[in-house]
Amino acid sequence: MTLQDIDNRVKGCIACDLCKTRTNTVFGTGNPNASIMFVGEAPGRNEDETGIPFVGAAGHLLDDYLTAVGLSREDVYIANIIKCRPPNNRDPRPDEEDCCIHFLHEQIDLINPKLIVCLGRIAAKRLIDPNFQVTRQHGEIYSYQGRKIMATFHPAALLRNPANKVPTFTDFEKIYEIAKQENYL
Ligand code: URA
C-alpha cells in the first residue's frame, strides 16, 4: 500500500455527509519520509478549493513558524484529522472524525514519523487525550504508539488570539531542538 493508494480511497470516500459539500478532498502534503508530522483539524475554504492542507491564512502562519525555527514544508508532512471541509468551517463532529480517522492512522503507519505535532484542540483530543487542554498542556511530550507526540496552538486560533503566539514559538523551538538532537532532518 502507498500514500497514493490511500489518497485514491479518500477521493472516493462517501462515508459521511461531508462528501456532499466538498469541492476536493484534502489528503496531505510534504515529505512522505518525514520524521515530523503535523496534524491539523479539517480543511477550510482554501484547502477545499486546492486540495492541499494549510494553504490559507492559517497555513501562511504555520509556514512562518516553520521558517522561523529553520524548518520548511519539505522537512515535514502535514495532514488533518478530517479530509473534507465541514460547511462554514464548523468543528468536525465526533461521528465524522470516527468515519475519517482510519485514513490518518494509515498515513501515520506509512510515513512512520518519530514526532507528531497536533495543531490545536481537535487533533490533540483525538490523538493524545479526550480531556486535553491546549492552554495547559501545549509543548509537553507524550507518547503515541511508540512515537513522541505533542500539541501546540492551532494557527487559526492564533490569528484570533495573538497572545498565544509567543508560547507557540517556544513550542516550535522545542520541535526543532528535538529534530536536531535526534537527527530527524
Ligand atoms: N485548518 C486546519 O486544521 N487544516 C487545514 O488544512 C487548514 C486549516
Ligand 1 mean position to 141 CA, how many Å? 22
CA distance 63 to 57: 10
Global pTM exceeds 0.95: yes
Is the dihedral angle over the CA atoms 26, 56, 160, 141 positive or is it negative? positive
For residue 75, the 8-state DSSP code is: G
Q: Report how far ligand 1's centroid is from the alpha carbon of 80 (Å).
A: 7
Pairing between strand 36-40 and 115-119? parallel
Closest atom of ligand 1 relative to the 41 alpha carbon: 3
The domain made up of 3-180 has a fold known as Uracil-DNA Glycosylase, subunit E (3.40.470)
Most informative mutation of 38, 41, 107 for ligand 1 (most atoms within 8 A of CB): 41
Cell numbers for 129: 487525550
Burial of 89 (0-12, 13-18, 19+ CB in 10 A): middle
Give per-residue pLDDT as tens, 133-181.
999 999 999 999 999 999 999 999 999 999 999 999 999 999 999 999 9
- Centre of ligand 1 from the C-alpha of residue 162, in Å: 18
| In the chain, domain spans | 3-180
Residue-wise pLDDT for 71-119, tens only, equals 999 999 999 999 999 999 999 999 999 999 999 999 999 999 999 999 9
Q: Quick one: pLDDT at residue 99?
A: 97
Q: What pLDDT, in 10s, does the model give residues 27-67? A: 999 999 999 999 999 999 999 999 999 999 999 999 999 99
d(CA 103, CA 173): 29
Question: Which residues line ligand 1 at a C-beta cut-off of 6 Å?
Answer: 26, 40-44, 47, 53-54, 58-59, 80, 156
Please report which helix (H) or strand (E) contains residue 36, including its range: strand 36-40
Confidence of residue 69 (pLDDT cuts 50, 70, 90): very high
